[in-house]
Structures are given as structure tokens and as C-alpha cells.
Chains A and B, each alone.
Chain A
Amino acid sequence: MITARLKNAAGNILCEIRLPEHLHEMTLQQYVSFDSIASGEGNPIAIIAEAVQDFTGVDMRTIIKAQVGDIYQRADALDESLRSIFGYISRLITTYEPKMYNQDLHEFEYKGDTYRIPYIRTMPLGLGEVLPDISVVEAIEALELLRISENNKKERPGEEANIRFTTYLKMLSILARKEGEELPVNDAHREQFLTERLIHFQEIDAATALDVDFFLLSSLQRLNATHEIAGFFIRRVSALAVETCGWKKKPTTVRRRTTNKYLPASAGGR
């Protein structure tokens, strides 16, 4: 973690902020929330203020006193302005390169435990793909989750970021498994297991989530079949870069003073 500072227009320090140096130090919740605000429409300064406030937890009364900086200039270093902090977080997200999982490495570490994720094995000599060993109960849970998620998105489009976040965590709870662990068959026990696992995964860091997301996306793409829940977060990384780079200065409405070459010099011409 590094420490950044915010200053007001007079140059006085308003507060110190702890910022992650790597996506491993950022939670998925922070990532989703930042992405959701940053890709919104409206006044860029209001978006920057809200995104920084939400990410860092600094009080909005302090944020609005801080100097904004030139939002149309690229922020290469933390210069104690809002736009430099926003730029730093955006750059951290958009420059992340996911870890490449393969047939030998399809597990991740979380809170001291190792979780395996299903993978599609490629047969040698291009003889096709071997589907992951998913049980009937896991498939039913996963398909039911997707159905409910799609319904929720249609009914509550304003909460799409939250719905995706919950869906992703629940999908991870269904598919990621510790060694020797099985999804309970009893409905009540299964529901309890998935709820507890979902709460357990809530603090998952953005790097691990993006790695797993990228792995699921790339393995599904090999089958030319995918679902939008897989790869959603990793696709947002590039979308965020495009959206935040798209902020351009608005054309001025004031006419520039020009000389009229057809008028005599005494009347303002040349």
C-alpha cells in the first residue's frame, strides 16, 4: 500500500489516503464499485469525486474541498489532486495482466486455503476437448443461478453491478472447491453451504477474481460457447480504459477573434 495525500486549492493537506499498489490489495467489491461509478455518465468531475470517495472512504465534505487538477491531462504521478488519485486507481485496474491458468494449474489460494476451479482439458492432436468433471447438482445450481441473475437484471437494471458481483461470488461458491469437498445434496444444507461460502468469498481480492474470471472466459471461448457472467470483469478492464480516456474538452461556445481580411485596417480588418 502507498500513501497519497489530498490538498485543497490553497495547498493545505486535507487528508492522507492509503492506496493499493497491486490488485491483490484491492477487493473485488472496491473494483466493481469503482468501475460502476467511473463508467457512469455525467459531469466528469462529479464522477471522479464520487469514485474516489467510494473507493477510499474519505468523507465527501473533504473530497469537495480538494483540488481537482486538470482532468483532461494524463495523470502520470500522484500530485495530491483528485484526478491523479482517480487516474492512479484506473491505471492500476486497466494495466493488470491476469495470471494464466493452464491444465496443470487450475487452483487459487484464498485465506490460506486452496480452491480448485473446473477446467476444460484439451486432447492432444486436436482431438477435441474434455469437459470438466461437474456433477449434476453443481450444474443445476449454476444454471439456476444464471436464470435468476438474468431475471434480476431485467427487473432491476439500476442494480446491475451489485447483481453481477453477487452472481460472480455465488458462481465461485458453486464451482470452486477445496480438496475432497462436495456440494451437499440436501437442499437446506446446500443453501447454507453456498451462503456461508458466498460470505467467505466476499473479501476476495480483485486480482484473484480477475484471474479466475479470465480463466473461465478463455476456457469457455475454446468451446466457442460462453456466458456473459464469465469474463465480465475482465472485459470491463478494457472498457474502463476506453470510457475514462474518452473524456474530451467540450468545444468552446465563444467565437475566436479573427481579423476580417475584407475590411480596411481602420475597421478591424488587416
Chain B
Amino acid sequence: MIISMIEKGWLKRPDMSALESVYRANFEQAVGLISTENASY
């Protein structure tokens, strides 16, 4: 899940590294993005 979000550049914040941006993101928001993507396939 983390790698997928880093690769896609989701939740990226300019003041943080890619990994830190994902780790600091709101969990509910991250899960929401992934389930939206899964549902669109």
C-alpha cells in the first residue's frame, strides 16, 4: 500500500520526502484513495 502510493505520488507534500508524505497522511484519506482506485478497475 505504501509503495503503491509513493510510486503514484499520492498525498505528496512539497516540504516532505515521498515516504514521509505518505506516513504523515491521514489514514482514512489514504484508505479512501486506495479503495476508490480498486473500485474503478
Interface residues of A (CB under 8 A from B): 131, 133-140, 182, 185
Cα of A134 to Cα of B23 in the assembled complex, Å: 10
Quick check: B28 and A135 within 8 Å, CB to CB?
Answer: no
For B2-41 the 0/1 string (1 means CB < 8 A from A) is: 1000000000000000011011111110100000000000
Residue of A nearest to B5 (CB): A136
Residues on B with beta carbons closer than 8 Å to the beta carbon of A134:
26-28
Residues on A with beta carbons closer than 8 Å to the beta carbon of B22:
136
Main secondary structure of the interface of B (DSSP, over half): helix
Residues on B with beta carbons closer than 8 Å to the beta carbon of A136:
2, 22-27, 30
Quick check: A131 and B28 within 8 Å, CB to CB?
Answer: yes
Cα of A127 to Cα of B32 in the assembled complex, Å: 19
Residues on B with beta carbons closer than 8 Å to the beta carbon of A133:
26
Cα of A134 to Cα of B28 in the assembled complex, Å: 8
| Given A135-B26, A139-B27; 7 other pairs, CB 8 A cutoff | A134-B27, A135-B23, A136-B23, A136-B26, A137-B23, A140-B2, A182-B24
Q: Within the complex, what minimum Cβ distance (angstroms) separates A252 from chain B?
A: 61
Residues on B with beta carbons closer than 8 Å to the beta carbon of A135:
23-27
Residues on A with beta carbons closer than 8 Å to the beta carbon of B24:
135-137, 182, 185
Residue of A nearest to B22 (CB): A136
